[in-house]
With several copies, the nearest count.
Chain A
């Protein structure tokens, strides 16, 4: 699965984008966050304030309880500040 990071989430992870193998046990966005946090210290630090992070699956906003389903891309970012 393709994972993208933006703004301070990107800075903390240290990556703009990565492709990961999703374990079969990972069904929801919350599961995916748990998995990403286990990867290394940077990921753990990035997802420390979980409540401050927003998620999109295939470029659509979703909540953390959303099923990953057949999504090909997940993106993690802080609350938006455009406009």
Chain B
């Protein structure tokens, strides 16, 4: 039975519990449920917000392509990805991945894979807004993120 990933790109916050329930409630074949929530940090008090710019249309399409890869690669019973855009203050949610499977390794690896690929391939860009009023610089991509993503192609 083919699993269709749920992918959403939105400005409003998401509800981790609601998204988890959607993958597990009323089912008896889910043995493992992993959630990853990425949140905005204040960088030791210097950051007032992150501004998330995205490429509408391609963001959804690329997240769907990554999610479909995960569904092909691991025996999942469900997979959900939600990514926010717009201005996000410290302490608030940015991104959510929920993966469900009969077995824990599949659920862990699929969520981990999804985050690594999302970081390097989904068309989102972060700009820092600083507490001192500056709209700071664009966050630079980390070479470590490329290395993380490369782990999955060996």
Tell yes or no: B25 within 8 A of A by CB.
no
Tell yes or no: A69 within 8 A of B by CB.
no
Tell yes or no: B41 within 8 A of A by CB.
no
Q: Please determine whether B55 and A83 come into contact, CB atoms closer than 8 angstroms.
A: no
Chain A residue numbers with a CB within 8 Å of B144 are: none
Q: Please determine whether B122 and A80 come into contact, CB atoms closer than 8 angstroms.
A: yes
In whole angstroms, how far apart are the Cα atoms of A75 and B124 in the complex? 13
Interface size class of A (residues with CB under 8 A): 10 to 19
Once A7-B127, A7-B138 are accepted as A-B contacts, the answer to whether A80 and B58 lie under 8 Å apart by CB is no
Total interface residues in chain B, CB < 8 Å: 28
In whole angstroms, how far apart are the Cα atoms of A79 and B122 in the complex? 10
- Encoded as 1 (CB less than 8 Å from any B CB) or 0, chain A from 62 to 83 comes to 0000000000000101111111
Q: Please determine whether B138 and A6 come into contact, CB atoms closer than 8 angstroms.
A: no
Once A7-B53, A7-B138, A59-B55 are accepted as A-B contacts, the answer to whether A80 and B61 lie under 8 Å apart by CB is no
In whole angstroms, how far apart are the Cα atoms of A81 and B125 in the complex? 5
Tell yes or no: A36 within 8 A of B by CB.
no
Chain A residue numbers with a CB within 8 Å of B127 are: 7
Tell yes or no: B123 within 8 A of A by CB.
yes
Chain B residue numbers with a CB within 8 Å of A77 are: 55, 123, 125
Among the listed A56, A60, A82, which residue makes an inter-chain contact with B124, where contact means beta carbons less than 8 Å apart?
A82
Chain B residue numbers with a CB within 8 Å of A35 are: none
Q: Which residues of A contact B (CB under 8 A)?
A: 4, 6-8, 56, 59-61, 75, 77-83
User: What are 10 sample pairs from A and B whose C-beta atoms fall under 8 A apart?
Assistant: A6-B53, A6-B55, A77-B125, A78-B125, A78-B138, A80-B121, A81-B141, A82-B126, A83-B118, A83-B122
